[in-house]
Structure formats: structure tokens, C-alpha cells
Structure 1
Amino acid sequence: MCGVMSAYADDNIAVAVGDSHTLFLKHDGTVWSTGYNGNGQLGDGSLWKRSSPVKVTGLNNVVSIAASGQHSLFLKSDGTVWVSGLNNNGQLGIGTLENKNIAVQVPNLSSVVELAASGDSSAFLKSDGTVWITGKICGQFGMNRCGTPLILLNPTQITNAPVGVTSISLATTYGHYLKNDGTVWAAGEGSNGQLGDGSGVFSANPVQVKNVSNIIKISGGFFLQKDGSVWATGNNTYGQLGDGTTVSRNEPIKITTISDVKEISARSAHSLFLKNDGTVWAAGFNGYGQLGDGTTVNKSVPVAVIGAKNALTLASMSYQSFYVRGDGVVYGMGYNAFGKLGIGYESSYEVTPTAALKGASIDTCNDTYLHLLPCGPVVNAILQKTYLGGYPTTREHIAITYKVFNKSLRQIPPATLYRSTYLNEVNALVATCQANTPCPVLAQPGEYYIIGEYLNPYGSASYRMKSVTSGSDWFNQATLLFVSHYDTPSNLLWTH
């Protein structure tokens, strides 16, 4: 085999955003995740947070994703739904309140064509047009107006849903239906005008949204018309409706400040618009830079996201925004606690779009020590810094020379190193070597190892080697690099 392809190849087609984690769907049907993982929402079998994407374990043939709160939903091409993460209110729909850190199938649910998630609830649209919901029910689609929440442990059909539903949009206290005739219907809490029927009150039964027709996409209280115009209703405290005011609306108004739109994404207090020319625009709350215009100033008129072009799709959550570029690269902006932007480090926020990380290539063909690795570009995962026993107090870079069997491959400039805050040490082998001398070859025939080296001021080096599977699949395995610093233990981690 001459060369391998990175699992980080830029082939993303969709993004889904939870409160503190993010999912990336790739062309090959795999899903990758980043951010907080305390309840297993990343689906990688661990509870470790990540600041660069890791592969969701055991999933393939995924065609759609959704996320909210601290749980994740995955729709496979066969119409089955798989879930991971927090399940304290039955939002996974698996009949229990047990969290899952590896995706499991939702039982007795099939023929699903669309997913939706909000707070601690999940909803599913089936191919027959029926709508089902599970989790904490507090007014969504008109069920159980908030007071004492109704907890559903299994998907339950919404029996009064309209006929002919082709798409759904779910919020924490209400929901919208798009019908095959281009009309939109809503049920649930309407005190902020979010139902769009002009009443401003709760409705247990679906009511038709006023003023809109020929709608092709819905997101929260935003409606995209076939002609590229956008209509919006509901809360406008931060200017998220994009109409140049902060006046909330009980029924949709046309957003005259933007046109020629082909995709919308609206969650909480800001909104995103993708135009047919591939540019991305944003309006509303911008306290964490989620509008991507380089500021933290709220905007009541859509502003262009800096550098965004050739975009294909959008995703957003309360304080984050994402778009997928035509070449499959994902860009994120906004709140970056827990590393949920997937850019390799944690930060308060990012006010301009930053690309989610991918692997860096090194050439193995001319290295005599690489007799166990295939010739060609070896694509590694993302370097992350962490500390034993706690979180880092600084964000300084560390200069590292990477070697395989002590043969130098590439000096990585300090400015290219990325930071993280969690240790993940799995099945490592240890070798201690003197500087500039060959490290013992511990690999057995058919096994592959990647070795990391830190040369401390006293001239010695410590290595931590992670065994991975042989053959063409070796580069898909997580590789750990342990570094013993001369005065303070620290760790470096390859992950993907």
C-alpha cells in the first residue's frame, strides 16, 4: 500500500449542534464529534471531552444527524435511529433513563426520514407522515403545557399532527410542521409569538401560521419561501428576526433585509442565512461572536460572515454557528467552551470562522526506521496538550519533534501545536531511551506503533507507544503519545 487517506479528509456534509458538543456527518456515512462528553454524547465509548473531532464508535451508513442538550441522534439509511448521551428525561427513547456513551438503536422505531432535537426531547418524522416524540414534554407540538413535565421513555405518536407533514422543527416548548402543500402549522407555547398565528397564546392543537405559503424549509420561527425570501415570527429581543428592529412578532413578517436565500438555521437568539451565491449572513445575539463578523455586537440586520463563501449548509445553537464549505471543510464561530467548535483547543469564543481540525501528513517513504509502516503520506490526527491531575493554567505552546522508532520525520513548529485539557491514556507501552540513540523496537510482526518524543534539557527522552491494528486500518485507530517532562508531568495526545 502506498499511502493512506486521513479520516479527517474534508468531506463533511452536515453539522448538528448540542448545548456543549457538535456532530459532523461525512460523505462516507460516518459521524465525528467534539466538545463536552460527560454523559457520553460524543458516542466514542468514553466520557472524555474533546477539542478536535473523534469518530463515533460503531456507526456507519448515517444519513442525518441531530443534537441538543447533551444527547445525539443518528439516522441511518435503513430508517433506524441510533442515540447516545444524556438520558435523564428519556430523551434517547430507549425505554430507560440510562445514559449511553456508545450509540444504541432506538427500539420499535423504523421508517424515520427526519430527526429533531431540543432540550431534553427528541422528535422523529416517519415516511408515512406521522410524528413521534420522546423525552421531557413541556408543550412541544402542543403536548402537556409546562407545569409538571410529562416524561416519555419511548417514542410516542403525536396523534393530532396535521396530515401530509414533510418536515418538522422542534423547540423546547413548541413545534412547527411543514406540510406538502407548502403551508406551515404550529402547536405549543405562543406567548412570544413563536407559533405565528397572531394569537400569542398556547395552543394544544395545530394552528396555521399566517402570511406564509410555498414554504420549502422551516427552522424555529423562520420560514424559507420557494422564491428565496425569508419570513420570521416570535421573539426579537436581540434583533434575531433580522428586520432591523427589536420588536417581537406574533405573526410572520417578510425579512426585507435579505433575499435569494437557500438555507436557514435559527436556534435561540440568533439566525443564519445561506444565500445562493454561497455567502453566509447572520443576525441577532452576538455576545460570543457567533455571528462571525469579527465583533461581539448584536445585529438586527443580517451581516456577512467574514470569509464565508461557497457554503453548502448551516447549523447553529444558542452561542455557536457553523457552515460547511463546498470542499467539505467545516467552519465554526462563537462560544468554544469544552472545544465544541472542534478547532483543537478551548477558548472563551471565536469571533471569526475557524476551521475544524484535520490531520497533518508526514512522508514515510524515505525513512529506514519505518519498515512496519506503509510507504506514502501517513496522515496523523490532531495534537492536543493536557496535564496530569487537572486542567492547564496556561495555554503556552510546546515544541515537539515527532519520531517513529527514533527517526526524525518532521519538526512541528510551536505555532502549529494545539491545546486540550483532558488525558486519555489507553493500553500504552513504555520505552525509555537516551537522546540521539535508537529506541528499542517493541513492535511485533504485523503491529504498528507511533512514538512521540520529548527531549528535555538533560538529554534523555521518554516514549509512549500505542499499538494499533495492522494493515490499511491502522491509521483509523487512536494513537496516544505520553511525554515525561523533566520537572512536571505532562501529556500529549493524538486523537481523531
Structure 2
Amino acid sequence: MNFLDLLAHPLQALQTAVPRQLAAKLGIVCTLFATALGAHAATVVTFATGASNSAAVLSDGTLWTWGNNMNGQLGNGTSTPADRPVQIGAGFTQVQVGSRYMVALKADGSLWMWGHALLKSKVFYETAPVQIGTGFARLLTSDTAAKADGTVWFWGDARSIYSVAEGGGDRSGLLDPLPAGTRQMATGPHNALFVLDGGALRFVATHHFLNTWRTGYGSAGPVDSNFEQVTLNASTAAGVKKDGTLWQWKGDEPPASLGSGYRQVAKGAAHTVALKTDGSVWAWGSNASGQLGTASTADAESPQLVGSGYAQIAAANQHTLALTLEGTLMAWGSNSVGQLGTGSAGAMPVKPTPVVFDGTASPQLGEMTVTGPIELQTLTVRVQISSEHLASGVEGDVYLMVFGPNSSGFSYNGYGFSPLTPFGIPQPWIHGLENRTTVLISNQDLRALRGSTVYVGYGLKSDQQSNTLYEMQASKRYQLVHTIR
């Protein structure tokens, strides 16, 4: 029975009883590639960024963080920074990034926090996610969230601006409620903007000598109406109204209109980014670190087009992130501590650059070239080892796996296909790390194999982990390169 015959039928070996330890061994392999099926199909659905770190939730519910980790704000149990995303959990729907902490919401309504933050009854300091609340429906900002009953609660950076007395409520628990009728609170270094029911604004500030707001727009009481979303920094604020108009103001100045057709606005330390309903992204302000994404470092006083085809934006300090309609997260600007997630901390891309999620859709991991109709098809596979791994001289192995739609599976050992059985783990395609191209199947009728998938990946060897397959699983360094259709 050849490979095509085997792949078109379930493996008989998998239907027989086997010793428990051998079944567990195969279970690890099955888990690896069952995970791959979900991980490689996942795209970014929501994300957030802060002063020096960022986070994203993928469509499979996994949560990824990267950047500065001095206060444990990556949530991976360490204080080691990461210049590419690392997975820290699953089952999440939203995430927000504060100055020294992160918060995330799970599908069950539980609220989780890690890093260093101020809570109502304690100073919080944890390097891994800890649950701090239940019954929440959505995260609004890095320091506010709304419960299913409509109440809005706050914590963290907001507590240094908006006092417990103003917030009301008792002193038990970890979080404080905002007054009834509050829909959103956006905080800056020493100020806060509240969006009330009806879209009216209220402004609160402390340390007037440290910012340029002075009395501030709306400080005498609620003003204007119909604001849907606001953002601010130490010196300016901006907001989008229900009618799609974008407004910006500073100090005691009234808001000035910047046009219509907008749906989201975000501010860094000295730059602003806005997203229009047509998917175009616009940016203006300081550009010393390339945070405008205009392929230069020239400042801009008026909105400049960054690009089209975007669904969400976020900004902080001297960098910007934006999500494409296809689910690819792009980043540009300062990357001093890896906050962009594009790899190589210190590099400063001045135009949108993809965030590198190892094990999702890395364009340098591998690819499959397909020629001919399915009745007479040739599949050629290529592996591309990361240049940093080749340059550093690390050791490892490359794997190529094929899975049929009926749970059959095979590994390619460089000469032929070996079925996955309970009696062993896959053999590597290449012993050692090297770029290689191989004709996997030549002029074959693959109609019976519709739905079969091909994966390529590689693992690294180290003193602590000699089995490269397990290292590949832990690093999620594998990629779906083709589905036979």
C-alpha cells in the first residue's frame, strides 16, 4: 500500500489497543498538530498597546503579549522582555494595556490582571494573570470596564486622577464604580475625560502645572453631546461623534472639526491616528520615531494618509498599531523594547510592518507551490529557516507533516512518508537547520485526498530541550502551507 492509499484510509494501527505510555506518546504528537490546525487558522481580532508593550487576542481565543516586562506586565511569569508575541493564555475576548499592567476579559465575563497596578484595597503586583472580577461584558479602556448590568468600574492609572470619594461606593473589593450615567473614561498622564449618557463630556485634572489643560474643556460641568469615543494625552484630546465627525482640542479651546467619515481615534504622546469608515488610516503630529507610518520622520500638522484596508487602530508614546481587514496586525514607530512585536528590538520601522506571531502566518517559515489540475498535481514544498537562527548557529531539525481528513497522518523523512503510529514520534524531514526545497508529490491524482493538510515547522535544540519536536510545539514554530482542495 503506497502513501496515497494509506492517506486515503484511516490507519488501522490507531484502532488497536496499545500500551498506555505509547498512547500518551502519540497523544503528544496529536496535540501538537491539533493545536496547529487551530493556531494557523487564527487571526488577530482585537489588540491594544501601551507605553512600552502590546497585546492581542486571536480568533482562537489565545492571548499574546510582547514588549517591556519590567513589572511583569507580559504575564508570562517572568520579568524578561519579548520583542515578539508570546502566548500566555486562552479563552479571552478582549485585552487592554496600562502603563505597567494589562487587563483582559474572558468569554465567561471574568476580568484578569497582571503587572503592577493600584486597586481599591491593595497594590497589585503579579507576573501572571490573576482574576480580579466577574460579570463583565466588555473592556472600555485599560482602567475601565462595563458590567452586564450597565455599571462601569475603574482601577489602576485612573485612581491617581479620579478619587475613591468621587467614585463612590464602599471600600471593600478590588474595583471602584463610576457614577451612574458614565459610559466611558479615558485617562491621560494627569487628566481624564468622561463620556456621559447622551455623549456629553466631563473633564477632570490634577497637577495642573504638569499639563497644559489648566481649567480644561468641560471642567465646569458636562458639555456638548453625541461623542461616541474619546482619547487624550497630556496636552490634547480628540473624539468621534455619532455622526462620524472627528474633533480635536487642547487647553481651554473648544473642539475644532477635522472632517467627517471617522469611526475611531487614538493618541500617542504627541501624535494622533484616526480610522475612517472606509478603512483608511490617517496620522499627524510628531514623527521623530516614524510613529505616523508615512515612510519618513517628518512631522505633520494635518492628517496624512497611512494606508487603506484597516479595521482597528491603537497608539501610545512613539508608536502605532493597526489591524487589517484580513486580521493581520501591523506596527510602526519606536521599538526600543520590542513593543511593536516585529522582532529585533531597537529597529524603527517608519511604515506599517507585520507583527511576528511565531506559528501563525510567518511568511519566512515555509510555502507550498502547486502546479497542475488536481487530477495530475505536483506539490513542491520549501522551508525557510529564520535568518537569526541560521546566523546564530543553533542546532535543530525540520519537520514536514501530512494529515488526511479522516485523522490519518504521516511524516516525511526526506525519502518517503512514514505513517504516524502509537509506536513512535515523527522523524524529521531534515536533520539540522537548512533551507531546502523538495518535490513532495509529482503528477499525482489527489482527488481522493481533498481536505488533507501539509504542515512545515522546525524546532531548536538546547541544553534544556534536546527533542526538537517538543521545542517546536512550545514555540509554535510550525505553519500550514497547503490544503488539498
Post-superposition CA distance 1:72-122 (Å, at most 9, x none): 11012222111122x2x535x78454322x211115x533532422xxxx3
Structure 2 counterparts to residues 53-132 of structure 1, below 5 A: 53-57=85-89, 59-60=90-91, 62-85=92-115, 87=116, 89-90=117-118, 95-100=122-127, 102-107=128-133, 109-117=134-142, 122-132=143-153
2:242 counterpart letter in structure 1: K
* Separation (CA, whole Å) in 1 of partners of 2:245 and 2:339: 31
Greater relative contact order (CA < 8 Å, ≥ 6 in sequence): 2
* Separation (CA, whole Å) in 2 of partners of 1:56 and 1:378: 31
1:110 counterpart letter in structure 2: G
Q: TM-score, normalised by structure 2?
A: 0.66
Please name the residue that 1:359 is paired with: 362
- The question of whether the paired residues in 1 share the 8 Å contact of 2:145 and 2:154 is answered with yes
1:155 counterpart letter in structure 2: L
* Separation (CA, whole Å) in 2 of partners of 1:478 and 1:21: 20
* Separation (CA, whole Å) in 2 of partners of 1:51 and 1:452: 28
Q: SS of the residue aligned with 2:195?
A: strand
Q: SS of the residue aligned with 2:70?
A: coil
Please name the residue that 1:311 is paired with: 310
1:356 counterpart letter in structure 2: V
- The question of whether the paired residues in 1 share the 8 Å contact of 2:158 and 2:187 is answered with no
Please, which of 390, 404, 425 is the counterpart of residue 398 of structure 2? Answer: 404
* Separation (CA, whole Å) in 2 of partners of 1:182 and 1:207: 13
- The question of whether the paired residues in 2 share the 8 Å contact of 1:16 and 1:23 is answered with yes
> Is 1:255 the equivalent of 2:257?
yes
> Is 1:155 the equivalent of 2:181?
no
Please, which of 72, 92, 101 is the counterpart of residue 40 of structure 1? Answer: 72
Post-superposition CA distance 1:330-365 (Å, at most 9, x none): 11010112222111222242111111124355479x
Structure 2 counterparts to residues 453-468 of structure 1, below 5 A: 453=432, 464=462, 465-466=466-467
In structure 2, list runs of 5 or more residues that go unmatched: 1-6, 9-32, 369-378, 401-413, 415-420, 435-459, 479-485
- The question of whether the paired residues in 1 share the 8 Å contact of 2:98 and 2:157 is answered with no
> Is 1:133 the equivalent of 2:154?
yes
Paired positions, count: 380
> Is 1:222 the equivalent of 2:238?
yes
Please name the residue that 1:179 is paired with: 196
Please name the residue that 1:167 is paired with: 184
1:213 counterpart letter in structure 2: S
Please name the residue that 2:82 is paired with: 50
* Separation (CA, whole Å) in 1 of partners of 2:208 and 2:122: 32
* Separation (CA, whole Å) in 2 of partners of 1:379 and 1:124: 46
Distance 1:381 1:186, change over 3 A: farther
Post-superposition CA distance 1:459-487 (Å, at most 9, x none): xxx95433656xxxx96532699xxxxxx
Q: Once the 2 structures are TM-superposed, how far is the Cα of residue 398 of structure 1 from its aligned partner?
A: 5.9
Q: Once the 2 structures are TM-superposed, how far is the Cα of residue 292 of structure 1 from its aligned partner?
A: 0.5
Q: TM-score, normalised by structure 1?
A: 0.64
* Separation (CA, whole Å) in 2 of partners of 1:40 and 1:183: 37
Please name the residue that 2:374 is paired with: none
In structure 1, list runs of 5 or more residues that go unmatched: 146-151, 235-248, 365-375, 387-395, 408-435, 437-442, 456-461, 482-496
- The question of whether the paired residues in 1 share the 8 Å contact of 2:110 and 2:131 is answered with yes
- The question of whether the paired residues in 2 share the 8 Å contact of 1:43 and 1:103 is answered with yes
Distance 1:322 1:94, change over 3 A: farther
Please name the residue that 1:422 is paired with: none
Identity of aligned residues (%): 22
Please name the residue that 2:11 is paired with: none
Please name the residue that 1:24 is paired with: 56
- The question of whether the paired residues in 1 share the 8 Å contact of 2:152 and 2:183 is answered with no
